[in-house]
Structure 1
Amino acid sequence: MVTKKKAVKKLQPYEIGELDHYLFGQGNHYEIYKKLGAHEVTAGKKGVYFAVWAPHAKSVSVIGEFNGWDAAADRMERQEPLGIYTVFVPEAKDGQMYKYCIETESGELIYKADPFANYAELRPGTASRITDVSHLKWTDDRWMESRKKWDNKENPLSIYEVHMGSWMRHPGREDEGFYTYREFAEAITKYVKKMGYTHVELMGIAEHPFDGSWGYQVTGYYAPTSRYGTPEDFAYMINYLHRNGIGVILDWVPAHFPKDAHGLADFDGTPTFEYADPRKGEHPDWGTKIFDYEKPQVRNFLIANALFWIEHFHVDGLRVDAVASMLYLDYGKQDGQWVPNKYGGNQNLEAIEFFKHLNSVVLGRNPGTMMIAEESTAWPKVTGNPEDDGLGFSLKWNMGWMHDFTEYMKLDPYFRKNAHHMMTFSMEYAYSENYILVLSHDEVVHLKCSMLNKMPGEGFDKYANLKAAYAFMTGHPGKKLLFMGQEFAQLREWSEERELDWFLLSEEPHQQIQNWYRDLLHLYKKNPALYELDNDPAGFEWINKDDIFRSIFSFVRHSKGKKKNLLFVCNFTPVAREDYRVGVPTKRQCKLVLNSDEKEYGGSGEKRKEIYKPVKKECDGQKYSFAYPLPAYGVAVFEY
């Protein structure tokens, strides 16, 4: 007897099949965002295919403008084994708002935004919007091709950290005056090119309900915030920056999410995205939920999200927020508020494996991109290879350097001799990770003062201190990041509620600081000695790190093969040293390439020689030396 084979239904590309379930269940469906969410399709006729993961829901309906928000109109079909609900709605159209009406196990109805939505209603609204992001227009082929060969270790990386909503606003408008993505693209490009940054890092781009969270409490992981325009506008911005040779980094938040009723918290009436045990699943200090890194589908949600920004929207890197809070089970918790791992320790073993998987996949699939860790502890091998038990990040924020540096700079110059080690200690561990030196938004809020107002003294002293600080940072090994407004010595602390105080640039001291930082950035970009050996001890040499009582630091940055080297001399006291002698490793002439005493930087404008010829006279342990009149808080950079 011949048995007939059961006919297998041929799936449409948008439909979810067995392979999708298998990969999502394993945590390896790296393009799951193309299946879950709302996608415009043609199934006989045009409409929208909705798919949502709600494993413990009793039932799910999609409600929206297309069906009068009627929960009975478009009930979704449950697919096993993972509990993914799907429905095709021919009446649904681009731009319409929608939500999922979820019936929980207890029979309660809850209304949730789509975790995979690509667009959202402008806050305070909380609905998702149907939008098609599958046909974005890109003309940045040259950038994307060159990115494949780009190496963050050997190339210049100077980052301008920006909060879009408060960088610049339209004055006098009845609405909030935000620049759109398109307007911002053109304005920021002009400014960044003038200043000399290589990359822009954008805070708070994924959709979030509360402005005061700065974008670090996300409800729409797959949606560029609607505050500044559509996803197409967002793509235009990335494309525009790339065409002008500027890289884009986004802040990315896989550590926690808010409890807003429309968000991920208790998504199907149970802890779906978060750990079920509140001792693992909640941050008591932040009032937020913690992702369950043990659950494959949750890991998949986050890894696919990282790939979505980098592959679909051409973003060049992600700065991963609050990494330390993910690595430690007891982060920000008291005894009794956390659960040890199976070995009795405080390490989150699932988060560690998540990072290794995340970084291996993102960087493996996208050569030339960056995964950057904001990690504030001494966790080993953050930028080490996963094969060697590292976490696999490209770069790590150097929070130790930032703390020591800012604490030193706050001191009255008279007391700096007692804290001299705070400026030299960082070189003891400079090569243990691939570092970025950061002066970020976190350092200029919550009564910490702006960078200028951290500086001691009044008037000239404040500005001169800041110039010396920025020069030291530029010369120190490590990539660079500075938060917006600090490049022109913003007086007030930053607030997301207003634009930067651009009017300060009408005052000479602020313009002079901007001139100084601009020329430091251009010096940095132009000289491989300042970036190509950041992770190699051969790239840095102290000339004198022990001039404690005069608080002067001198050092050399070497290029590969020592073809072109830069000597930095930084004076951190208000005492001029007219007879200052500095040692050099060679008899070759030294050319003064940057002098903080120039008039355009707020200095005296006193004329100085351009060329200095070392003589055979021992100084600073070097065979050769030359004399240079070093002003109060003076900085001089020489090329040889």
Structure 2
Amino acid sequence: MKTSEATLPRLLKKDSYLRPYREIIENRMRRVRETEKRLTSGETGLADFASGHEYFGLHYREGQWIFREWAPNATGLFLIGEMTGWREEAAFALERINDQGVWEIRLPRNAFRHGDLYRLRIHWPDNRGDRIPAYARRVVQDPETRIFNAQVWQPPLPYHWKNPVPRISEQDEQLLIYEVHTGMAQEAEKIGSYSEFTGYILPRIVRAGYNTIQLMAVQEHPYYGSFGYQVSNFFAASSRFGTPDELKALVDAAHGAGLRVIMDLVHSHAVSNETEGLSRFDGTPYQYFHEGPRGRHTAWDSRCFDYGKPQVLHFLLSNCRFWLDEYRFDGFRFDGVTSMLYRDHGLGKAFTAYDDYFSDNLDEDALTCLALANRVTHAVRPDAITIAEDVSGMPGLAAPVEDGGVGFDYRFAMGVPDYWIRLTKEVADEDWPTGHLWYELNNRRPEEKTISYAESHDQALVGDKTLIFRLIDADIYDHMRKDDQNFRVDRGMALHKMIRLITLATAGNGYLNFMGNEFGHPEWIDFPREGNRWSLRYARRQWSLADHPDLKYRFLADFDRDMIAMVRRCGLLSHPNIPLLKEHHSDKVILFSRAGLIFAFNFHPTRSHSDYPFHAAPGEYRMILDSDAADYGGQGRLSPDQHHLTQPENGSHQLRLYLPTRTAIVLEPVGKVLPK
């Protein structure tokens, strides 16, 4: 028995409820090891294996062009393009070089010029089709014909990197993520560029105090309205925002400003398009994807990878390394992890019992792929960040593979924004259950790092509502001037600040905000589509609202800035212990401490509390943040920089505070060095 206990995976030691599934978890660990050994033949590292992008695709090496493609069902391949007049020419015919279906051609220096457009024409039994190469690094769309083609990208001078990856201080190990979309980051009714983002939005993020950018829609996608989640070309940075060098300049400038940059990485599915994407690439529906119904994601109208194929693993693992090497991204937010993990994609499933995670519904090949993707990422960049977007709550996602986990560094606490939606949508705030709220904010696996958020881009899309819109509704259009007293606006702004502060203050190890939500951006996101006559009106961010001195949006932005600054100064999220000092349902009060600070929240809509007592560590405290301050658009019912002394009472110490309605305050001990 002792031997069995000693060899127990660490994940099971920390969670005894997982022990009935020991055999499954140990088989999973063994499967990852064996798959890695099979892929590398035990002769090279996994990071070296994940270099398919240096073998496949178009490369200029030692005075000649070399192009390779994997197309096992093909009977013939031709490069066609501007260099051939878009016709098949014998000089541009590829040769099959092995029985695995790899094709190759070598061409002289003058065969291509920088900027040339090209594609593949693939012949297969009984038919043929034009395809964009699977490893194409540059794909562009003709503005008139709307046709996509690969483009030779070989500028005379390669991009010269100016800034090293930022060294992260101990306080900034806590992730404070600003989620952004390059195209809609500008205010004009157009698609924004990488260069515009670098010049105008990056300084805003720096001023706001966030230390990490999460960049959406990087991989090329034919349909702008997919938000970047219907990827066609996995190795190509979206050209609708600019050139590869301009994206590199964005990452470089962010590093120079001390910011990390992670990107949304979509390996959960691929666009169904055939000419632009991988679907039916060599004439078969099953080259990269599962055959039959399992190969189609009906809810997303997309294709599902066959993660059990070595060639598919080679493609996806190489894709991880490519973005780290070529663009110096600092990690990934893996999209759609739930959809990958379960054969039914987790659709309509509640995941209420551990059996749901260990049934035949689990796609072990997908889980192995994710574990290997984490290994590759951390082998190439040990300091890289990997985040899992999973709604199922799969145990061990953010635990090391050798402990029985999948290897992510963090997972999103996706139940938190869902809970805020339910509260603001379905429950009058005088009935908010503070005890259940406290539970939901802190409901996470202590052995795994989590990132909390009150709302992300998901809550801002058409068909949903941001928090500010749920709280204020149409009054946000007519009553946001500073001299306009409006009850709905005052209520909404007060709760908006409180919701964001308590979400951040109770977050496990990181916090995320979608651009513009910090100042209560008033409108939803609606990308150009037939239903809105292809308008860009709602695919933008109105920064001028936050800059306008006579509007109330500035109050919310200033509060968010000071809230983030406080967290960074105190290293708040580096301290996992969050003792609850008091929770009272009828009073609508939640009080807790973290990193030596005291957080006091009164959610009651009509009842302020005078001399509200609670136990606290003895000493003197001063108020360092007040959501009701006039500087943040509040009523200013508390004097700035208040000091409070604890009083001995019944063998302990108590603080007594005035807690105005719908107000949150933060207290800091005076004369003590806060834990770092």
Same-fold call, TM cutoff 0.5 = yes
Deviations 1:563-595 (A, max 9, x none): xx1110111122342414242432111111001
State the alpha-carbon separation in 2 of the partners of residues 584 and 136 from structure 1: 59
State the alpha-carbon separation in 1 of the partners of residues 338 and 221 from structure 2: 22
Deviation at 1:295, TM superposition (A): 0.5
Alignment of 1:35-54 (within 5 A): 35-43=55-63, 47-54=64-71
Q: Which residue type is aligned with residue 61 of structure 1?
A: F
- The answer to whether structure 1 residue 527 and structure 2 residue 540 are counterparts is no
- The answer to whether structure 1 residue 481 and structure 2 residue 503 are counterparts is no
- The answer to whether structure 1 residue 610 and structure 2 residue 632 are counterparts is no
From 225, 229, 236, the equivalent of 2:249 is 236
Q: Which residue type is aligned with residue 307 of structure 1?
A: R
Instruction: Output the TM-score relative to the length of structure 2.
Output: 0.82
From 39, 43, 55, the equivalent of 2:72 is 55
In percent, how many aligned pairs have the same letter?
25
Contact 2:187–2:543 (8 Å) recurs in 1: no
Q: Tell me the residue number matched to 1:628.
A: 657
Q: Tell me the residue number matched to 2:7.
A: none
Q: Which residue type is aligned with residue 121 of structure 2?
A: C
Q: Tell me the residue number matched to 2:482.
A: none
- The answer to whether structure 1 residue 118 and structure 2 residue 118 are counterparts is no
From 551, 558, 561, the equivalent of 1:515 is 558
Alignment of 1:376-395 (within 5 A): 376-395=391-410
Alignment of 1:119-518 (within 5 A): 119-122=138-141, 124-132=146-154, 135-141=158-164, 143=165, 146=167, 155-170=173-188, 176=190, 178-262=191-275, 263-331=277-345, 345-410=360-425, 411-417=427-433, 420-438=435-453, 439-455=455-471, 458-478=488-508, 479-496=510-527, 497=536, 498-505=539-546, 506=548, 507-518=550-561
Q: Tell me the residue number matched to 2:478.
A: none
State the alpha-carbon separation in 1 of the partners of residues 325 and 47 from structure 2: 18
Deviation at 1:37, TM superposition (A): 0.9
Change (3 A) 1:406 1:151: farther
Q: Tell me the residue number matched to 1:594.
A: 625
Gaps of 5+ in 1: 1-18, 336-340, 559-564
State the alpha-carbon separation in 1 of the partners of residues 623 and 230 from structure 2: 48
Contact 2:53–2:318 (8 Å) recurs in 1: yes
Query: Alignment partner of 2:649: what SS?
Result: coil
State the alpha-carbon separation in 2 of the partners of residues 584 and 22 from structure 1: 60
Gaps of 5+ in 2: 1-38, 350-355, 473-486, 528-535, 670-676
Query: Alignment partner of 2:500: what SS?
Result: helix
Deviations 1:412-443 (A, max 9, x none): 222214x6413323424351421101321111
Deviation at 1:504, TM superposition (A): 2.6
Contact 1:583–1:623 (8 Å) recurs in 2: no
Q: Which residue type is aligned with residue 135 of structure 1?
A: P
Deviation at 1:169, TM superposition (A): 4.2
Change (3 A) 1:459 1:169: closer
Deviation at 1:188, TM superposition (A): 2.1
Worse-matched range after superposition: 299-308 or 501-510: 501-510
Which stretches of structure 1, 4 residues or more, deviate above 6 A after TM superposition? 19-24
Deviations 1:447-503 (A, max 9, x none): 221220222771211111101111111211321001112111112112333311334
Query: Alignment partner of 2:160: what SS?
Result: coil
Query: Alignment partner of 2:365: what SS?
Result: helix
State the alpha-carbon separation in 1 of the partners of residues 585 and 465 from structure 2: 27
State the alpha-carbon separation in 2 of the partners of residues 20 and 635 from structure 1: 55
Q: Tell me the residue number matched to 1:544.
A: 582
State the alpha-carbon separation in 2 of the partners of residues 59 and 37 from structure 1: 17
Q: Which residue type is aligned with residue 216 of structure 1?
A: Y
Contact 1:53–1:84 (8 Å) recurs in 2: yes
Contact 1:329–1:346 (8 Å) recurs in 2: yes
- Kindly report the root-mean-square deviation, in angstroms, between the aligned alpha carbons of the 2 structures: 2.6
Q: Which residue type is aligned with residue 436 of structure 1?
A: I
Alignment of 1:89-100 (within 5 A): 89-90=107-108, 91-100=111-120
Contact 1:408–1:422 (8 Å) recurs in 2: no
From 97, 104, 117, the equivalent of 1:86 is 104
Change (3 A) 1:509 1:344: closer
Deviation at 1:604, TM superposition (A): 2.0
Query: Alignment partner of 2:391: what SS?
Result: coil
Number of residue pairs aligned between Structure 1 and Structure 2: 585
Deviation at 1:126, TM superposition (A): 1.0
Contact 2:331–2:377 (8 Å) recurs in 1: no
Deviation at 1:446, TM superposition (A): 3.5
State the alpha-carbon separation in 1 of the partners of residues 601 and 367 from structure 2: 41
- The answer to whether structure 1 residue 553 and structure 2 residue 590 are counterparts is yes
State the alpha-carbon separation in 2 of the partners of residues 168 and 114 from structure 1: 32
Q: Tell me the residue number matched to 2:666.
A: 637
Query: Alignment partner of 1:326: what SS?
Result: helix
